[in-house]
């Protein structure tokens, strides 16, 4: 064997062993490092989110009493589904101050956390509008779903039938 062949064989063995070393030792090691670094990045991101949520929870606890007043105000916007007396009294007081007579049917509690009321009003047109404005701008979350008016020309008054939906607790 010549020196040239020995050099080729030695170089080939060296290259094959280097390739073997890279493929079976270095590449898996580098891939594992990449996977572990991505895991660390993900954990750091999760930790940052958890720290942020913890800070927000501490701020909420610190300001709880300020929020409690707002929660109470929000709570009063809803009609009590089991006992809608306060809402019915509000409707009666609004009708009385608007100078219209009012008849209320029994409420129907619906599955979407609301209560439906059928109202019959009898009074002047301006008084009826005043009543409608009062219940729409009142302290409860109310939606007028349907409205029909018919006139009574002899007394210059109108009869109004309306369907009202109020959100419940």
Q: Where are the domains of the chain?
A: 3-62, 85-167
Mapping DSSP onto H, E and C, the string for the chain reads CCHHHHHHHHHHHHHHHHHHHHHHHHHHHHHHHHHHHHHHHHHHHHHHHHHHHHHHHHHHHHCHHHHHHHHHHHHCCCECCCCCHHHHHHHHHHHHHHCCEEEECCCEEECCCEEEEEEEEEECHHHHHHHHHHHHCCCCCEEEEEEEEEEECCCCEEEEEEEEEEEEC
> What pTM was estimated for this model as a whole?
0.59
Does residue 155 or residue 56 have the better pLDDT?
56
- The residue among 142 and 82 whose pLDDT is bigger is 142
| Percent of the residues in the chain that have a pLDDT greater than 90, as a whole number | 24
Sign of the C-alpha dihedral computed for residues 157, 158, 159 and 165 taken in this order: negative
At residue 46 the predicted structure's pLDDT band, cuts being 50, 70 and 90, is very high
**CATH superfamily entry for domain 85-167:** Ribosomal protein S6/Translation elongation factor EF1B (3.30.70.60)
Structure confidence at residue 36 (pLDDT): 92
* pLDDT one-digit tens code per residue, 49-97: 999 999 999 888 888 888 888 888 787 788 877 788 888 899 999 999 9
If one counts every other C-beta atom within 10 angstroms of the C-beta of residue 77, the result is 14
């Amino acid at each position: 064997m010549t020196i040239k062949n020995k050099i080729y064989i030695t170089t080939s063995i060296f290259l094959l062993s280097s390739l073997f070393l890279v493929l079976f030792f270095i590449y898996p090691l580098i891939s594992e490092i990449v996977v572990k670094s991505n895991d660390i990045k993900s954990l750091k991101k999760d930790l940052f989110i958890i720290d942020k949520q913890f800070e927000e929870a501490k701020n909420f606890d610190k300001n709880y009493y300020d929020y409690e007043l707002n929660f109470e105000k929000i709570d009063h916007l809803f009609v009590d589904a089991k006992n809608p007396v306060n809402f019915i009294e509000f409707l009666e007081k609004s009708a009385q101050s608007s100078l219209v007579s009012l008849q209320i049917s029994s409420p129907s509690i619906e599955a979407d956390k609301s209560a439906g009321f059928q109202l019959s009003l009898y009074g002047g047109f301006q008084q009826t509008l005043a009543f409608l404005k009062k219940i729409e701008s009142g302290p409860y979350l109310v939606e007028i779903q349907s409205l029909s008016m018919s006139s009574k020309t002899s007394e210059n008054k109108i009869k109004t039938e309306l369907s009202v939906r109020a959100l419940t607790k």
